[in-house]
Amino acid sequence: MGPPAPPILCALVALAWALLGCVNAQRDCTGCPQLSGGLIAGLVLGDLLLTLLIALAVYCLASKIHHRRRALETSQGEAKPQPLEMESPYQELQGQRLDIYSDLKKAGANY
């Protein structure tokens, strides 16, 4: 005989067996309403249409708000804020400088 199974494992196996029995019992449903293919297609198309209408409404509202802000700024004469110019942390390239490398060649020639 093998080692005894832990009680938790036995409980999980029993629970899974009971759930599988319930699923099999639900498959032979005779009084359940049936959905036709046309009804399912109508639901899917209606959902897509509603989603597109919501997206279109959000786009229209956002563009109106943007146009109102732009009209308000131009009517008040406010200038657009200029972006701050920041210094680059990188050193600008200055072209080829052969004098740096020529010093290295001269030092290497002494060896």
Task: Average the pLDDT over each of 44-48, 51-55, 82-86 and give the range with the smallest value.
Answer: 82-86
68-87 pLDDT per residue, tens: 888 887 777 655 566 677 77
pLDDT at position 107 is: 58
Q: What integer is the mean pLDDT of 98-110? A: 61
pTM: 0.40
Q: What integer is the mean pLDDT of 12-23? A: 68
Q: For residue 80, give every residue at least 6 positions away whose Cβ sits within 8 Å of its Cβ, in sequence order, or none.
A: 73
Asked whether residue 13 carries a pLDDT value surpassing 90, the answer given is no
